[in-house]
Amino acid sequence: MTMRPFHGFALLSLGLAAACATVPPITGDPAVEVVAVAETPPVGTARGDAADDPAIWRNPVDPAASLVVGTDKKAGLYVYDLKGAQRSFLAAPGLNNVDLIELQDGRVLVAASDRSDLATVNLFLALLDTATGQLAPAGRIAVGPGEGYGICMIKPDEGDAIIAFSAPKEGTIYQTRITMVNGVFAGTTTTLAQVPTQTEGCIADPRTGALYIGEEDAGIWAIDIASGAKRMVAPIDNRMLVADVEGLAIAPEGKDGGYLVASSQGDNAYAVFRLPGMEPVGRFRIARGAFGSVEETDGIELDNRGFGADFPAGLFIAQDGMNAPQAQNFKYVRWDAVLEALGARR
């Protein structure tokens, strides 16, 4: 009789242990490996999920002197050079994703999703001085209900307006027409589309009028910028894409070709699709090298133009969500090294 309670407790303990056992992580299709050739310093926010998303400004006169803007969502915006060295910092807590675009007058407009108000999607604006690498605040535009998350921008061929697309957590996709009114940036917003669950990754292709949105637990949508019509072009399949789908980036080639890259955060890889049909090309990882491996990537950025001797055929940047024992940072990879590892032709 005295053994029965112990026996029952032992069985219960074994059952609890089994229930609490670690579930093996899902791993997609095999991924080739590349290594980073540069990295930024750790962001200022230690011991937390802070670094998030990068954006690249390419210097047309001296591509090797180009700049990178990156977010620390607990602190603000950093500006880096192509060696990864910090050029400046602008305090602005609550920023998440970031994009930039060159205006007709030559100034560079930086826009970041502003989560300091969790009930309203806002765009935080700044102007980048490309000579000094400094950022200056340039206003704030209220977009609509929701919690700001993903953002991307395009500059239409006609007029001087900028179109910003916002992808808040709630799945409503906004488009905001940004213009200058009496020397101040102003925005007019309409709703473009709705997806069922949480979104973040956002990249627009003005060549084809397609906006690509990552629905984190479902896959990648292509949304027609003119009509709002949408179709799922790359579902979560635990082969090419493992949830969460995070950052999206494009390497355009010709009138509608090139590649779309997605952060397959669930298994620390990046999925590459060929445009315009979104045919799978392959997957890659950033392995340990001189600057360490990369895991749990949120934001990515890609520009397949030349950036000088260090990045002669393009630059891919990924947020490193681990980077232990230091705080999170951003890693730089040669795009031609990715294509070579994948066996993809340019």
Work out the pLDDT band at 23, boundaries 50, 70, 90.
low
**Strands of 134-145's sheet, edge to edge?**
95-102, 108-114, 120-129, 134-145
- Cα separation, 241 vs 262, in Å, equals 8
Q: In sequence order, what are the residues at sequence separation of 6 or more whose Cβ sits closer than 8 angstroms to the Cβ of residue 82?
A: 38, 64, 65, 66, 68, 307, 308, 310, 311, 315, 332
In the structure encoding, which two tokens stand for residue 295, read together?
């895991």
Domain of 181, CATH number, reads 2.120.10.30
Q: What mean pLDDT value characterizes the chain?
A: 92
Count the domains in the chain: 1
Asked if residue 17 belongs to a domain, the reply is: no
Q: pLDDT tier at 104 (50, 70, 90 boundaries)?
A: confident
**17-39 average pLDDT score:** 80
Assess if residue 2 is contained within a domain.
no
3-class DSSP state for residue 129? Answer: strand
- Tell me how far apart the alpha carbons of residues 333 and 38 are, in angstroms, rounded to a whole number: 7
Residue 228 lies in a domain: yes
SS3 annotation, 179-238: EEECCEEEEEEEEEEECCCCEEEEEEECCCCEEEEEECCCEEEEEECCCCCEEEEEECCC
* Residue 45, φ and ψ in degrees, nearest 5: -85, 110
Domain-embedded: residue 167: yes
pLDDT tens digits, one per residue of 51-99: 999 999 999 999 999 999 999 999 999 999 999 999 999 999 999 999 9
Instruction: Give the whole-angstrom CA distance, residue 256 versus residue 271.
Output: 19
Q: What six digits make up the tokens of 264?
A: 């397959």
- Domain membership of residue 4 (yes or no) is no
Determine, yes or no, domain membership for 16. no
Which range marks the domain in which residue 120 is found? Answer: 28-342
pLDDT digits (tens, 9 = 90+) for 229-288: 999 999 999 999 999 999 999 999 999 999 999 999 999 999 999 999 999 999 999 999
Pick the more confident residue, 186 or 11.
Answer: 186
User: Does 110 reside within a domain?
Assistant: yes
pTM: 0.92
Q: Does residue 125 sit within a domain?
A: yes
Q: What is the pLDDT of residues 287-316, one digit of tens each?
A: 999 999 999 999 999 999 999 999 999 999
Higher pLDDT, 214 or 49: 214
